[in-house]
Structure 1
């Protein structure tokens, strides 16, 4: 009597390479997110932050510079970075560049370019959402740039230089110069020097500081009167000596 064949389990048998085999559970459904020890990455195939593994992360390169008298060092750290790690890296490398990047002749030009190049990554980091799902906590961004000691040490001299220019203009306008200016008849002046080194300054005739009234000698007015002083030729447009009549 012939033995009947064993029952078939699918077209290829239970161990056939064509048979469904799911030793770790059912297959993932289309559209389902993979999972792991730290949560599912929302965009499979994309990497998280290079420092903490969190996402979202932006690809960027943060740069730094060091001047070494006769040598230079060009520093860079390439991402992607999450928001917090990116800002922490940008602030650290930029603040270090502000006090380390000036100490060679060419570094004086390279340092500003480096700082400007870091503004692009900074803007990209600030647009990111808060980091999540990393394998370690993200870096602490720390204090903003304008509150860090290297930045203050750089900005204070720059601010003083910026304020010095208008201050010198104002001082020059208030003090004036000692170059003789031509006088006209009827003006009142005071002498800030002595008569061998005249420094005649035009003054309001109603001011107590006014000392002399200018009079130009002509055929109609006649020569200078007795007791008048003579202004130096530099105070006349044609070299004629003006008369200075005392007001008191």
Structure 2
């Protein structure tokens, strides 16, 4: 009795399907995608997000800081990329620390302003970014603006005093000016707080021990002179600033 042939597999033909059949239809493999971030957005292909939170968009900027230690100094930097919020938070923290830590040294007093100016470029780049999204954690809180923080006020007040000192002194000098010399009258007593080439005559009571000279007369007539032993007061002490005055020593 003949043995029946083995049953054919489904779709069997002259070239049955099998693990070694190169012509067997292949089942497409669907690649598994990595899980999305905390905000449900996938990272951009071929790039990296914010170094702090992984969010996008980012700016590849570097924020700088400086510390002065009288003799030594320390240069600080934090390299991106940063998203908008993490970048602003890093900029404000490092700039704020630099404002009160960076001045303590001869060279640091010049390096600190340069460091603060260098940080203005990254700050502008961070502010141009859209709100962060797609990170693996919430971005940093930028906090209060730099001009509303205590270190900024501590630096601003001395700088304003230095800037305003010169114009303030100039205005005071113009308003107050030099004291105008007093016009001496006959019979008054004075003392000379300067020397005779640069007189500074101050009126004193004739009974005061500080009094040194008595005004005897004015030389209002041309050709008249003071008596022997008397001194000439400057023209500015006479009427109109053009009349000589004679001073006689009290002792």
* TM, length-normalised to structure 2: 0.67
Q: Is the 8 A contact 1:96 1:150 kept in 2?
A: yes
* Residue 29 of structure 2: aligned partner: 22
Choose 1 or 2 for highest CA Rg.
2
CA distance, structure 2, for counterparts of residue 142 and residue 158 of structure 1: 25
Deviation at 1:108, TM superposition (A): 1.3
CA distance, structure 2, for counterparts of residue 194 and residue 76 of structure 1: 73
SS in structure 2 at match of 1:63: strand
* Residue 116 of structure 2: aligned partner: 115
How far does the alpha carbon of each residue in 1:8-48 deviate from its partner, in whole angstroms, 9 at most, with x for none?
Answer: 5996324xxxx4531558xxxxxxxx773323446311211
Q: Is the 8 A contact 1:178 1:199 kept in 2?
A: no
* Residue 12 of structure 1: aligned partner: 23
In the TM superposition, what are the counterparts of 1:61-100 in structure 2 within 5 Å?
Answer: 61-100=62-101
In the TM superposition, what are the counterparts of 1:190-205 in structure 2 within 5 Å?
Answer: 190=183, 195-197=190-192, 198=201
Distance 1:127 1:194, change over 3 A: farther
Structure 1 segments unaligned to the other structure (5+ residues): 26-33, 181-188, 201-214, 225-229
Distance 1:106 1:13, change over 3 A: same
SS in structure 2 at match of 1:196: strand
Q: Is the 8 A contact 2:235 2:243 kept in 1?
A: no
Distance 1:194 1:168, change over 3 A: farther
Deviation at 1:54, TM superposition (A): 0.6
Q: Is the 8 A contact 2:86 2:139 kept in 1?
A: yes
CA distance, structure 1, for counterparts of residue 168 and residue 202 of structure 2: 25
Deviation at 1:171, TM superposition (A): 1.3
Q: Is the 8 A contact 1:231 1:241 kept in 2?
A: no
* TM, length-normalised to structure 1: 0.68
Q: Is the 8 A contact 1:91 1:141 kept in 2?
A: yes
CA distance, structure 2, for counterparts of residue 134 and residue 87 of structure 1: 16
* Residue 36 of structure 2: aligned partner: 37
Q: Is the 8 A contact 2:43 2:134 kept in 1?
A: no
How far does the alpha carbon of each residue in 1:185-217 deviate from its partner, in whole angstroms, 9 at most, with x for none?
Answer: xxxx656x96333269xxxxxxxxxxxxxx984
Q: Is the 8 A contact 1:231 1:242 kept in 2?
A: no
CA distance, structure 2, for counterparts of residue 218 and residue 57 of structure 1: 91
Deviation at 1:124, TM superposition (A): 0.1
Structure 2 segments unaligned to the other structure (5+ residues): 7-12, 193-200, 204-217, 226-230, 246-251
CA distance, structure 1, for counterparts of residue 17 and residue 58 of structure 2: 52
Deviation at 1:218, TM superposition (A): 5.8
How far does the alpha carbon of each residue in 1:100-142 deviate from its partner, in whole angstroms, 9 at most, with x for none?
Answer: 1111221111111111110100000000011111111111100
SS in structure 2 at match of 1:195: strand
- Number of matched residues? 199
